[in-house]
Amino acid sequence: MLKTVRIINKGLKGDITIPADKSISHRAVMFSAIAHGECQINNFSSGADCHSTLNIFKHLGTDIRFIDEKTLIINSNGKLKPSEVALDAGNSGTTTRLISGILAGQNFDSVIIGDNSLSKRPMKRIIEPLSLMGAKIESTNGCVPLKIYGTQLNGIEYSSQLSSAQVKSCILLAGLNASGKTTYHEPFLSRNHTEILLHYLGADIRVNKNSVIVYPSELTAKDIDVVGDISSAAFFIAAGLIVPNSSFVIKNVGINPTRSGIIDVVKRMQGEIYIRNTREVSGEQCADIMVCYTNNLKGCTIEGEDIPRLIDELPIIAVLASQAYGQTIVKNAEDLRNKESDRINCLVRELSKIGINITETPDGFVIEGKTKIKGDAELESYHDHRLAMSFYVAGLIAEKEIAINGFEWTNISFPEFEKLFAKLIAGGN
């Protein structure tokens, strides 16, 4: 689908409630499926990736039923059953990597498949530590399809060279069903939704800075309320800062410190952003966020421990940085090359088409601001939802229209995207 973006002249106004956090929605289903008892999950994500997780656990014998489109009931005895069909993870790397840790310790075999994009994403990063635990996994050149032969696992102590919540979660989930303790170390603290939710459901899990220890544990089902997704909110935060005359509130946003790097970067860039009504929901921190147009944004350097806290937000940060004075440098983000696309190369290639002064580096990019976005170009999304949504935001302030090829890929993570922008646009008119 080719999407033409409407240019905004009167600002974005009003308030919106951001959709459910996808990372937490994935985990809520997975962990409840292996917990004992019945629970209700409220504000479940409508994104296609989370429904891939949901469908996989239905195939694994979990009793799941919807009350409405965002509320579901899961009833489980803590055990899974072998699936009669291959488990289709669709486009979801989160589904594939996390569920591999669960399936590796079962008493049955499983096959995980995915779409063409997922089939190119690296899985050796989970296969290697799982193999150290005794797992038996066959892959296709280190990618899906994966054939997982369920077996008894042993706890290990593992030091990862990569700060990845998906790898960490995979090993911790495997550790729940292994003999002895499992210890995981990472260079910087990655998002910790797994640790929070496992603790909430009664796992014997202990955290010390960048290290986590989990012991064999049985989980007890509890109701879970899913907070709003800060990665989705990031597109609106950026739009509010760069679309003139904008001022609005984003409600119910998760502000977990391991995910809120976008907020810290905006403050570093001297953007007008305000955190209100902070509270705790099912173990997660949550708040309302007010954002206002800021004409004097300043460039900054983003590197090191910043990166795991905003890895998914870097494409929209690139658009934001194009409207800041001075230079913005992104370093240590080489894992962007292993997402739905090579996000570094693709981002640089497409943003350059619309006049943004961006230079590719091996582990990131450099942007020279403040530049006018020319528009009058057709941008390729590369089947990458975050690129498509970032280009949409750029189009809101372009001098001429921008067309985005493959915009339908936004439905993977954020089917409400255009509807929410339409509400804010209407509020400004």
> Are the CB atoms for 31 and 56 separated by under 8 Å?
no
Of the residues 21, 49, 229, 312, only one is catalytic, namely 312
- Distance (Å, rounded) from C-alpha 377 to C-alpha 114? 32
CA proximity to 201, closest of 24, 28, 51: 28
Polymer length of the chain: 429
- Distance (Å, rounded) from C-alpha 191 to C-alpha 230? 12
Q: What is the DSSP-derived secondary structure letter of residue 131?
A: H
> Are the CB atoms for 238 and 319 separated by under 8 Å?
yes
- Distance (Å, rounded) from C-alpha 110 to C-alpha 346? 34
Q: Where do the DSSP E strands lie in 282-363? A: 284-292, 301-302, 326-330, 357-361
| Count of beta carbons in the 10 Å neighbourhood of residue 426 | 11
Please, what's the b/e burial string for 105-129 (b: 16 or more CB within 10 A of its CB; e: otherwise)? bbeeebbbbbbebbbebbbebbbeb
* Two structure tokens written together for 165: 């919540």
Q: Can you list the alpha helix ranges (DSSP code H) found in 116-205? A: 124-132, 165-176, 193-200
- Distance (Å, rounded) from C-alpha 320 to C-alpha 265? 10
- Distance (Å, rounded) from C-alpha 337 to C-alpha 161? 16
The CA angle 166-171-177, to the nearest 5 degrees, is 135
**Pseudo-torsion of CA 246, 247, 253, 256, nearest 10°?**
90
- Distance (Å, rounded) from C-alpha 247 to C-alpha 211? 40
Determine whether 312 is an active site residue: yes
As annotated, the active-site residues are 312
